[in-house]
């Protein structure tokens, strides 16, 4: 079991893609701590003794520091950090409220920055660690997502900078960029729009949350020890081409 007794901190892991990432690490033997602000009605850590949940807002430094301190106090280390928490507030720029820009940047970019800032000293002392940031192929540009695309583009840049800053301490920092993934959130789209998005993919089908989880656990594993500062697209090839909408 690749992650047996490893301590894994995952933000936004209570539902959606995050929940699949949690399950994959648990399957690998890890002790997983979820930091989330929104808990689904059917979420219960009692389903697995290696799973803990802590309520906290990634965009607030006091919450981040409290959670990291609590984990270190209990386990003494953090082996893997997955920055998965994120929000979407879509609109074309001339209709987008300033508050929607600020909130998306705060959660999607400042949040991972705060998490990495808090966890980096821990991993540097350990002389080991893996950080995986969940970005999006939207960082390449999407209509109506000036806030979201900017936040994910910033997170790509943050990934590259931290990969350089932490490499000497045997810490890798990489990113996974999902494309269209079949989740409850995307299924709230108009069925006709969802179908058009699928048809724009080379393979004409959306991915699954498990597809993202497999990529994340690979980058967090020993098999990826010499991969650093990279963006792994999990989008069915959409980032390299596809049918125009």
Can you give the CATH number for the domain in which 85 is found?
Answer: 3.40.50.720
pLDDT at residue 122 is higher than 60 = yes
By DSSP bridging, strand 31-36 and strand 129-134 are unpaired
Residue range of the domain that includes 78: 7-180+208-233
Please tell me whether residue 174 adopts helix, strand or coil conformation: strand
- Compute the mean pLDDT over every residue in the chain, rounded to the nearest whole number: 92
User: Considering Cα of 141, then 145, then 147, then 149, what sign does the dihedral take?
Assistant: negative
Q: Cite the DSSP H helix spans in the chain.
A: 16-27, 61-75, 98-105, 111-126, 146-166, 191-199, 209-220
Please check whether residue 192 lies inside any domain of the structure: no
pLDDT of residue 113: 98
Give the per-residue pLDDT at 244. Answer: 47
Residue 196 lies in a domain: no
Band of residue 196 on the pLDDT scale cut at 50, 70, 90: confident
Sequence-ordered list of residues with C-beta below 8 angstroms from that of 129, at least 6 positions apart, any chain: 78, 79, 80, 81, 119, 122, 123, 166, 169, 170, 171, 172
Nearest in space to 67 (alpha carbons), one of 14, 112, 117, 9: 9
Active site residues: 148
Q: Is residue 203 part of a domain?
A: no
The per-residue pLDDT for range 37-87, each reduced to its tens digit, is 987 666 665 578 999 999 999 999 999 999 999 999 999 999 999 999 999
Structural contact between residues 57 and 33, judged by C-beta atoms closer than 8 angstroms: no
Q: Is residue 131 part of a domain?
A: yes
**Domains held by the chain: number:** 1
């Amino acid at each position: 079991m690749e992650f047996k007794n490893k301590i894994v901190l995952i933000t936004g892991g209570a539902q959606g893609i995050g929940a699949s990432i949690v399950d994959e690490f648990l399957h690998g033997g890890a002790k997983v701590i979820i930091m989330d602000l929104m808990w689904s009605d059917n979420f219960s850590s009692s389903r697995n003794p290696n799973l803990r949940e802590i309520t906290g807002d990634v965009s607030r430094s006091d919450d981040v520091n409290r959670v990291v301190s609590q984990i270190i106090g209990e386990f003494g280390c953090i082996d893997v950090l997955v920055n998965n928490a994120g929000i979407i507030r879509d609109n074309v720029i001339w209709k987008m409220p300033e508050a929607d820009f600020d909130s998306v940047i705060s959660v999607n970019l400042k949040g991972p920055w705060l998490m990495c800032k808090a966890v980096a000293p821990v991993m540097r002392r350990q002389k080991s660690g893996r950080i995986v940031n969940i970005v999006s192929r939207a960082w390449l540009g999407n209509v109506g997502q000036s806030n979201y695309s900017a936040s994910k583009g910033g997170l790509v840049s943050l990934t590259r900078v931290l990969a350089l800053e932490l490499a000497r301490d045997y810490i890798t920092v990489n990113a996974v960029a999902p494309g269209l993934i079949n989740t409850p959130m995307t299924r709230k789209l108009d069925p006709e729009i969802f179908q058009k998005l699928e048809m724009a993919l080379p393979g004409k089908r959306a991915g699954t949350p498990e597809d993202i989880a497999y990529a994340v656990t690979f980058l967090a594993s020993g098999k990826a020890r010499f991969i650093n500062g990279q963006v792994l697209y999990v989008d069915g090839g959409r980032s390299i081409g596809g049918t125009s909408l």
